[in-house]
Amino acid sequence: MKDNKYADIVVNLPVEGPFTYSIPEHLERYVNIGSCVEVSFGDKKATGYVTGLSSKTSVKNIKPVIRALDESPLIGPKMLELTKWISDYYYSSWGEAISAAVPAVLKKGMNVKSRRKKKGPEDEEIEFIDGSDTHLSPNPEQRQALDSIKRCMDDGIHRVFLLHGVTGSGKTEVYLQSIARALEQGHSSIVLVPEISLTPQTVARFRARFGDKIAVLHSRLLGSRRATEWKRIASGEAQIVVGARSAIFAPVKNLGLVVVDEEHETSYKQEDVPRYNAREVAIKRAALSRAVVVLGSATPSLESFYAARNGRYELVELPERIDSRVLPEVQIIDMREELTKVKKVPIFSQPLKLWIEKDIAEGKQVILFLNRRGFSTFISCRKCGYVLACKHCNVSLTYHFHKRKLVCHHCNYKMDPPNVCPQCNSSYVKYWGIGTEKVESEVHRLFPRAVISRMDTDSTEKRGTHEKVLSRFKDHKIDILVGTQMIAKGLDFPKVTLVGVISADTALNLPDFRSGERTFNLLTQVAGRAGRGDLGGKVIIQTYTPAHYSIQAAKNHDYRSFYEKEISFRKELNLPPFCHMVRLMFRGRKEEKVLKVSQALRERLLKGDGPKKVEVVGPAPAPVSRMKGMYRWNLFLKADKIENITSLLKKVLGNNRRVAGIIVTVDVDP
Ligand code: ADP
Ligand code: ZN
Ligand code: ZN
């Protein structure tokens, strides 16, 4: 008989805990460490997780656990430890961190029956005849990488490898063979991929090699399917998990290996509480299980490459494409010069037009990339200068041709395009700026005989469209594919010989210290879509800032020169990886109040930080200074160690998510 009458419970709310509850006799069987339960908290009910048990307590007025939500504990001791670390590092409550680690469908209570459902598009796996079911014989560089990785796995040493290799250099083959070694040892593996590259193509490759041992977790999975996959993993039936961000919490047994593909991707950062980065969580989780981590990228994050340079990680490199296939030649077009040749701002430069014409005439395929949706991205009155902006956000509206609407890309506010200027009634309303819709229509006009398709979040709203377009492109039923970053990554189509970047400047102009890094990554990724077959490849980048080091380094496929330049800026300005940064965002409907609260907090932080370990910068308006009707101001905190910042915040802000009616969010390593 158990004599644990009391449970320490953390709840999925921004409060610290754990709190003590009593365990009614009839629930004793179900309330264990790691169990998910329902408790009353204040005057409401809350989902809680048991973090400890005891036979006595000194706490008075104890409330009982209301009910158990699952028959057996949802989380094991290691997951409790991991989520505790997340809550400390990313400044959330422990209960919130656990909640993020467990799929919602499993927290809904016992006897959840998986309802039968129609076969959805997420179940259909489009066959790509591209996965090979046997190991390829590694080339010397792959062998060297595999030797180092396997040695650590064999010795049970936790180590982080940074696998730096250009696109097509054989990184995935290294992952596959490392996973096979883990399997031989009876160990499980988790492979994280950015959601965007979780295409049927990627999944098919893993499936071809490992068949039913694979479980796939992505955000489009319906609850019931997610629950089934979760159970297959927990039971040990599936020993390899492939998935997006939250797959790092998969309940595998005997974790031996974690792979983080495209480790630099921003989609590994969760935007809600807890605002964790799955890459860092992966490293922590592996450390707890003494597992090996492989971070792979053609364009490693500055943080990871810096760590590799300092010996914290081990750098392994695959410097060349398989079969020494050359990287595509990249040509930069200075659009300022193009502008002098023609009267109107051109979408396509002469060289890009000629190359498209030539390649489709030769029966090859073309990808055109622009990181902006819609038709016109800026609408203004030529008479009075009025700009059509969102009612709720401080951004201009984008004209969407197919919807015949002006749309806000931040809050989705829509309005009909006005015939006259709303301010002066003149009819000189002009549409400027280009989005993917306009690129598509312009390609139609210039190349009427080509089959053209567009892929962005507008064109793929319907489930399954994404896969269908890719499948048609693969079968060469499409000549020219126009798209946003949706088509920038992961695609491997040998007949694509030309990639055109309509504008390299969209990401560069963002007011963010990572904009140079983003631009280099994006251009390198997009360029990597060209010349993957025997037909060779060419990339054309149009830009108004051709001399920028990010663009020059991308042209030369030269990560090192980009890294050296960027890291020296970061050092000079004391930015990550030379410090840790935390962003406090203040939001509210009255701007004066937002400003007042942020300034007051600044003063309290400065006063509270006796030893002056934390630098406080701001407050300053956020890049989008009003969104969804809320004014937004930022305060940045910088320090050598994250604990210096979080302990100061604990002292000054505590668990508060609101100060005098103003919403305050804390984002660690933003
Ligand atoms: P990356 O993940 O770096 O983009 P991949 O692992 O996808 O590179 O490899 C690119 C292509 O080369 C794939 O078609 C893959 O099947 C092939 N490949 C990888 N390694 C080998 C090898 N050792 N021998 C022959 N082909 C290989
Ligand atoms: Zn006007
Ligand atoms: Zn808006």
Right CATH for 580-668 from 1.20.1440.230, 2.30.30.90, 3.30.70.600, 3.40.50.720: 3.30.70.600
Right CATH for 325-375+434-569 from 3.40.50.300, 3.10.310.30, 3.20.20.210, 3.40.50.450: 3.40.50.300
Q: What is the pLDDT of residue 126?
A: 44
The stretch 355-374 carries a mean pLDDT of 94
CB within 5 A of ion ligand 3: which residues? 390, 392-393, 408, 410-411, 413
The tens digit of pLDDT for each residue in 218-268 reads 877 777 888 889 889 999 999 999 999 999 999 999 999 999 999 999 999
Residue with token string 């979780």:
198
The tens digit of pLDDT for each residue in 444-503 reads 999 999 999 999 888 888 878 888 898 899 999 999 999 998 887 767 788 999 999 999
The tens digit of pLDDT for each residue in 550-604 reads 999 999 999 999 999 999 999 999 999 999 999 999 999 999 999 999 999 999 9
Q: What is the pLDDT of residue 302?
A: 97
- Pick the ligand that lies closest to the CA of residue 396: 3
Q: 33 vs 29, 51, 70, 72, 73, CA distance in Å?
A: 11, 5, 12, 10, 7
Is the confidence at residue 20, as pLDDT, over 90? yes
- Cβ–ligand 1 contact at 173 (below 6 Å): yes
Does 325-375+434-569 match 121-323 at the fold level?
Answer: yes
Ligand 1 atom index nearest CA of 167: 4
Nearest CA, atom 10, ligand 1: 168
Pocket test for ligand 1, best of 322, 492, 524 (most atoms within 8 A of CB): 322
Q: What is the pLDDT of residue 531?
A: 82
Q: Is 385 exposed, middle or buried (0-12, 13-18, 19+ CB in 10 A)?
A: exposed
- Cβ–ligand 1 contact at 177 (below 6 Å): no
Ligand 1 atom index nearest CA of 298: 3
The tens digit of pLDDT for each residue in 51-84 reads 999 988 888 889 999 999 888 888 899 999 999 9
Is the confidence at residue 389, as pLDDT, over 60? yes
Report domain extents, the chain.
6-107, 121-323, 325-375+434-569, 580-668
Ligand 2 center to 425 CA (angstroms): 6
Is the confidence at residue 132, as pLDDT, over 90? no
Is the confidence at residue 120, as pLDDT, over 70? no
Nearest CA, atom 19, ligand 1: 170
Q: What is the pLDDT of residue 345?
A: 73
Ligand 2 center to 410 CA (angstroms): 24
Check if CATH label 3.40.1440.60 holds for domain 6-107. Answer: yes
Right CATH for 121-323 from 3.90.550.10, 3.30.70.360, 3.40.50.300, 1.10.150.120: 3.40.50.300
Nearest CA, atom 24, ligand 1: 136
Going by C-beta distance under 8 Å and a sequence separation of 6 or more, which residues neighbour residue 519?
A: 504, 507, 508, 548, 550, 551, 554
The three state secondary structure string of 507-551 is HHCCCCCCHHHHHHHHHHHHHCCCCCCCCCCEEEEEECCCCCHHH
- Cβ–ligand 1 contact at 490 (below 6 Å): no
For the whole model, what pTM was predicted? 0.90
- Cβ–ligand 1 contact at 243 (below 6 Å): no
Q: What is the pLDDT of residue 490?
A: 67
SS percent in the chain: helix, strand, coil, step 5: 35, 25, 40
Higher-pLDDT residue of 201 and 589 is 589
The stretch 158-183 carries a mean pLDDT of 94
The tens digit of pLDDT for each residue in 396-434 reads 999 999 999 999 999 999 999 999 999 999 999 999 899
Is the confidence at residue 435, as pLDDT, over 80? yes
